[in-house]
């Protein structure tokens, strides 16, 4: 399965994303975030980074994400982490993925490992 992870406000949430990347078995990892999130790294792990503009209103942000994500997936469903970010970013990303169309399985890292919700 492919992992799509939102990486935005709150560097405390970056550990959740790093843990998901390290502990999961992913065919591909796509991390989305604003310009400052480019500094995010996970030692020994490769991922694609897609930058987006957090200042855009909801609909233009959704369209930007949809355009940037088009053609990136091989499967009909992706694992999605939205532990980071805000409501506008969450809605725009979910809407963009569903418009591609691709199904969503929410995922998180817990003390028991990677889980799907």
Residues 65-70, mean pLDDT to the nearest whole number: 98
- 11 band by pLDDT with thresholds 50, 70 and 90: low
Residues 67-86, mean pLDDT to the nearest whole number: 95
Asked whether the beta carbons of 82 and 4 are under 8 A apart, the reply is no
Give domain limits for the chain: 10-116
* Distance in angstroms (rounded) separating the CA atoms of residues 6 and 83: 7
Residues 65-73, mean pLDDT to the nearest whole number: 97
Residues 10-29, mean pLDDT to the nearest whole number: 90
Q: Does residue 9 carry a pLDDT above 80?
A: no
Q: Does residue 116 carry a pLDDT above 80?
A: yes
Query: Angle at which helices 58-69 and 87-99 pack, to 10 degrees?
Result: 50
């Amino acid at each position: 399965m492919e992992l799509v992870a939102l990486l935005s406000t709150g560097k405390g949430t970056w550990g959740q994303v790093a843990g998901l990347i390290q502990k999961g078995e992913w065919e591909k990892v796509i991390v989305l975030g604003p310009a400052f999130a480019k500094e995010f790294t996970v030692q020994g792990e490769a991922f694609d980074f897609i930058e987006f503009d957090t200042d855009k209103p909801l609909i233009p942000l959704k369209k930007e994400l949809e355009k940037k994500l088009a053609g990136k997936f091989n499967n009909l469903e992706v694992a999605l982490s939205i532990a980071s970010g805000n409501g506008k970013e969450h809605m725009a990303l979910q809407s963009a993925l569903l418009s591609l169309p691709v199904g969503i399985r929410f995922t998180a890292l817990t003390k028991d490992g990677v889980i799907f919700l």
